[in-house]
Amino acid sequence: MSLLEISDLVAVYGNVRATHGISLKVNENEIVALVGSNGAGKSSTFKAVMGLVKVASGTIWFNGEDISGRPPYSMTRRGLALSPEGRRVFAATSVQENLLAGAHILNKSAIGERLEQILIYFPRLRERLKQAAGNLSGGEQQMLAIGRALMSRPRLLLLDEPSLGLAPVMVQRIGELIREIQSKERLAVVLAEQNANWALKLASRGIAVETGRVKFEGPSAELRDNTEIKRAYLGA
């Protein structure tokens, strides 16, 4: 059984459809690339999973439970975590306070140990622990957003455009960290990315979406060799 299974999802903002029947599966302990252009429906799919937009029709199953339309506050306790597009750190508060905000479901006795593990993954955040998050570089803010999402010990981590606006060297470093964390934590990761080439190199499987629908799906290596995928998503 898949960890996450989305079937014929129609997510809406008021009367506007953001997705048009998206269906996909994510298995335990795998990295999946959800690729497509801006406005293709990637972020809306994530928001529907997290209960942040209305599900007009279709179903979302997580760990064998139908979570369609469940309130956002319940998703973290179920083992879901989202690092949103644009990072959305709390700019006026410290790096440490941002990280602790992601630990609200943990027992107090477990928070210190979890914080230490996140700082091992992201040593740069340890150096800036008392600094205001708004003073960090873009790459450091991205690390903080991922670290904050990881504080709750999720089973499924949704990363929305983690490479957006970052220098190539930082994109490479973020990719290395995603691989390391996924392996050590043994969690599933879904990358929603416009940078399809980078995402497909990280992931074992790829799903290409266009205008709110799944257009291609398969092993990442096959998608990267597909002529139409190359032309539409890889800049070839």
Q: Read off the pLDDT of residues 173-192 as tens digits, 9 standing for 90 and up.
A: 999 999 999 999 999 999 99
Residue 47 has pLDDT above 60, yes or no: yes
Share of the chain above pLDDT 70, in %: 98
Q: For the segment 96-123, what is each residue's pLDDT rounded down to a tens digit? A: 999 999 998 999 999 999 999 999 999 9
Residue 236 has pLDDT above 60, yes or no: no
Start-to-end Cα distance in the chain: 36
Q: What is the pLDDT of residue 29?
A: 95
Q: List, in sequence order, the alpha helices (H) in 6-57.
A: 42-49
Q: For the segment 124-142, what is each residue's pLDDT rounded down to a tens digit? A: 999 999 999 999 998 899 9
Residue 224 CA to residue 236 CA, distance in Å, equals: 10
Residue 163 CA to residue 159 CA, distance in Å, equals: 10
Tell me the CATH number at 228.
3.40.50.300
Residue 224 corresponds to which tokens in the numbers above?
Answer: 């990267």
Q: What is the pLDDT of residue 235?
A: 59
- Of 174, 211, 195, the C-alpha closest to 34 is 195
What is the band of 231 on the pLDDT scale with cuts at 50, 70, 90?
confident
* Structural domain total, the chain: 1
Q: For the segment 149-161, what is each residue's pLDDT rounded down to a tens digit? A: 999 999 999 999 9
Residue 87 has pLDDT above 80, yes or no: no
> What domain range is 18 assigned to?
4-233
What is the band of 56 on the pLDDT scale with cuts at 50, 70, 90?
very high
Q: Tell me the Ramachandran region of residue 139: left when phi exceeds 0, alpha when psi lies from -120 to 50, beta otherwise.
A: alpha
- Of 185, 155, 220, the C-alpha closest to 3 is 155
Q: What is the pLDDT of residue 226?
A: 81
- Of 153, 154, 144, 163, the C-alpha closest to 203 is 163
Q: For the segment 4-43, what is each residue's pLDDT rounded down to a tens digit? A: 999 999 999 988 999 999 999 999 999 999 998 888 899 9
